Structure 1
Amino acid sequence: MKLGVYTAVLHDKPLREALSIIKGLGLSGAEVNAGGFLPTPHLPVTQLTSGELDPAEYLSAFEEAGVELTGLNVNGNPLHTDPEVGPQDADDLRRAIPVAAMLGVRRVVTMSGLPEAHPGGRWPAWHVNPWDSGYLDSLDYQWDEVAVPFWREIDALARDHDVKICIEMHPQNLVFNPPTLQRLVEKTGATHVGAEMDPSHLFWQGIDPVAAIDYLGDLVFHAAAKDTRINPACAVYGVLDDRFTRAPAAEHPTSLGGRHTVNRWPHDSSWDFVAVGRGHDVEFWSAFLAALDRVDPDMAVNIEHEDAQLGQLEGLQVAAETLRAASRYAVQPA
Structure 2
Amino acid sequence: MARMVTIFTGQWADLPFETMCKTVSEMGYDGVEIACWGDHMNVEKAAKDPSYVAEKLAVLKKYNLGCYALGNHLAGQCVGDAFGDPRLAGFAPKNLAGNDKAIREWGIQQMKYTAQAAKNMGCKVVTGFMGSPIWKYFYSFPANSAKLIEDGYQEIYDLWTPILDEFDKAGVTFALEVHPSEIAYDYYSTLKLLEVFKGRKTLGLNFDPSHLQWQGVDPALFFRDFASSIYHVHIKDSVVKLDGRSGILGSHLAFGDLRRGWNFVSPGHGDVNFDMIIREANAAGYHGPLSVEWEDNGMDRLFGAKEALELVRKIDFEPSNVDFDGAMEN
Q: Do both proteins adopt the same fold according to a TM-score greater than 0.5, normalized to the shorter chain?
A: yes
**Of the candidates 137, 148, 173, which is equivalent to residue 182 of structure 2?**
173
Counterpart in 1 of 2:10? Answer: 8
Q: C-alpha displacement at 1:265, in angstroms? A: 6.1
Matched, 1:25 2:27: yes
8 Å CA contact 2:14–2:38 kept in 1: the answer is: no
In 2: Cα distance, 1:307 partner to 1:332 partner = 34
Residues 243 and 265 in structure 1, CA contact (< 8 A), matched pair in contact too: no
Which amino acid in 2 is paired with 1:173? E
Q: Deviation string for 1:281-319 (max 9, x for gaps)?
A: 7xx223212322333442122111110011121120221
Secondary structure, aligned partner of 2:116? helix
> Match of 2:169?
160
How far apart, CA to CA, are the structure 2 residues paired with 1:127 and 1:231?
A: 26
Amino acid at match of 1:156: D
Structure 1 residue 333 displacement after superposition: 4.9
Comparing 315-324 with 160-169, greater Cα deviation is found at 315-324
Identity among equivalent pairs (%) = 18
Alignment of 1:121-140 (within 5 A): 125-130=135-140, 134-140=144-150
Question: Does the Cα contact within 8 Å between 2:33 and 2:71 map onto a contact in 1?
Answer: yes
Change (3 A) 1:267 1:23: same
- Provide the C-alpha distance between the structure 1 equivalents of 2:166 and 2:281, rounded to a whole number of angstroms: 26
Displacement of 1:191 in angstroms is: 1.8
User: Aligned partner of 1:147: which letter?
Assistant: I
> For the structure 1 residues 134 and 44, does the alpha-carbon distance in structure 2 shift closer, same or farther, using more than 3 Å as the test?
closer
Relative to 1, partners in 2 of residues 1:135 and 1:319: Cα closer, same or farther, differing over 3 Å?
farther
- Structure-2 residue corresponding to 1:79: 80
Q: By how many angstroms is 1:17 displaced?
A: 2.8
5 Å matches for 1:210-221? 210-221=220-231
Match runs of 1:259-274 below 5 Å: 266-274=257-265
Distance 2:144 2:52 in 1: 52
**Match of 1:108?**
126
What is the count of residue pairs matched by the alignment? 299
SS at match of 1:316: helix
- Residue of structure 2 in register with 1:99 after alignment: 117
Q: 2:215 maps to what in 1? A: 205
For residues 236 and 264 of structure 1, what CA distance do their matches in structure 2 show? Answer: 16
**1:102-158: per-residue Cα shift (whole Å, max 9, x none)?**
11101111112111x5xxxxxxx43335487634221122112x1111222222221
Corresponding position of 1:241: 250
Which moves more between the two structures, 46-55 or 172-181? 46-55
Q: 1:310 to 1:85 in 2, by over 3 A?
A: farther
Q: TM-score, normalised by structure 2?
A: 0.82
How many Å separate the matches in 2 of 1:175 and 1:199?
14
Q: 1:126 to 1:292 in 2, by over 3 A?
A: farther
* Counterpart position of 2:296: 307
Q: 1:48 aligns with which of 46, 49, 52?
A: 46
Distance 1:28 1:207 in 2: 30
**What TM-score, normalized to structure 1?**
0.82
Shift of the alpha carbon at 1:6? 0.4
Q: Which SS does the other structure have where 1:126 is aligned?
A: helix
Aligned-partner residue type, residue 31 of structure 2: G
Q: Which position in structure 1 is the counterpart of 2:203? A: 193
| Alignment check: 8 A CA contact 1:286 1:326 kept | yes
Alignment-derived partner of residue 284 in structure 2 = 295
SS at match of 2:51: coil
Give the corresponding residue for 1:224.
234
Of 126-135 and 156-165, more deviation after overlay is shown by 126-135
Where does residue 122 of structure 1 map in the other structure? Answer: none
Q: Which residue type is aligned with residue 189 of structure 2?
A: T
User: Could you say what the CA RMSD is over the residues aligned between the two structures, in angstroms?
Assistant: 2.3
The amino acid that maps onto 1:88 is W
| Structure 1 position 68, deviation (Å) | 0.9
Instruction: Specify every segment of 5 or more residues in structure 1 that has no aligned partner in the other structure, as ranges.
Output: 118-124, 245-262
Residues 293 and 299 of structure 1 are in contact (CA less than 8 Å); yes or no, is this contact kept in structure 2? Answer: no
- Inter-partner Cα distance in structure 2 for 1:7 and 1:107: 15
Aligned mates of 2:263, 2:131 — CA distance in 1: 23
